[in-house]
Structure 1
Amino acid sequence: MVKRLAVFASGNGTNFTALWQAIQDRQLPASIVLLVCDHADAPVLQRAAAVQVPVFCVDFKAYPDKASAETAILTQLRAAQVTAILLAGYMRLIGPTLLAAYPHHIVNLHPALLPHFPGRHSIVDALAAGATTTGVTIHFVDAGIDTGQVIDQRTVAILPTDTYDTLAPRIHAVEHQFYADTLQQLLAQQRI
């Protein structure tokens, strides 16, 4: 059975593209059927249009609360018959509405070795802490900030001369391959 996936993204969308391309190249039993984005000017929107993936752009300010916005997202997910969600640079916490609808079927990619350096500034935090190793974690999403069950991790060395501008591209390069590999594993194991 082909899994119907939604990707949630807020920014550039390089992981969206890497996932979409891996599904095509590896002939994975999955299809990205919806992109959910929370920024009307995010470059990921053009990436989705280029590969003809439908988009739902949600303006959280247009709703009275987060639950209402997530209910609107859930309506779109159900209409597209989405079976699992992949977060790829989505810079919002997933709330109870979506967590309840997709238990253990929301996956996140985080640019650090959790539980170290959770949150949105993980690369900067790792550098500030003087860490010599960081990496990428893929985990299931729960109600906490990057606290869900770890699926897998990959390490990335922090060089003594590293700055954000030198470390971030190396982490992103690992993300692109690693997320695709993990998606393939999850599909093979029928975990999503």
Structure 2
Amino acid sequence: MAKDAALTGGKLASAPTSNLDGCTDFSYTGGPAPDPARMKAEADVEAKAKDLNKKADELEADPEPKPGASAEGSAKAAEKSAKDARLFADAALATADLAGKREERDKAFVAAGGASFGKDGLRELAAPSDAKTAEGIGAGSSLAELKTAYDAKGMKAGSNGRFQVPVDGKPDWIYEFTVNGEKVGSVSMINPKSKCS
């Protein structure tokens, strides 16, 4: 589904709640309003991580200069090495900050429900808290109920720690369930092949 078609249906808010990583997330009508300060913080962290990682990648592509035999040449090589190490450390910290922003965005998105669009169209639907799958599983269902409904259908724990199972009749789509303790916290339908940018 294309973003423009989804927005004309009236079920989604007209303004996005996040643009992180090139995906555009919308809450359902009446859901959380966009938070300009949070969205700016996401954009700033993303831009910083991209810039520092690009610089670090350029350093890795350049061959390391050989220190000269003189003390001055050795000192310059050591200074460059320290500067490069600082850049790699800053890039790693910026990447960690970006991962934190992604985690915050993902938690807010599945808690509120909505639709996320990537470069190929619809990427994820996060169910409203009162929605249930055809098998009767939704937020608040027990872990035992989730396993009873989906273990025989190939449910497994994903790399992100969430439970995942293919959606019947929808090739390329999976259900993804977050679990808090012994209860389902949220339900999403995701197309893992659809990328943000």
Per the normalisation by structure 1, the TM-score is 0.24
More helix by share: 2
Give the number of the structure whose alpha-carbon radius of gyration is greater. Answer: 2
More strand by share: 1
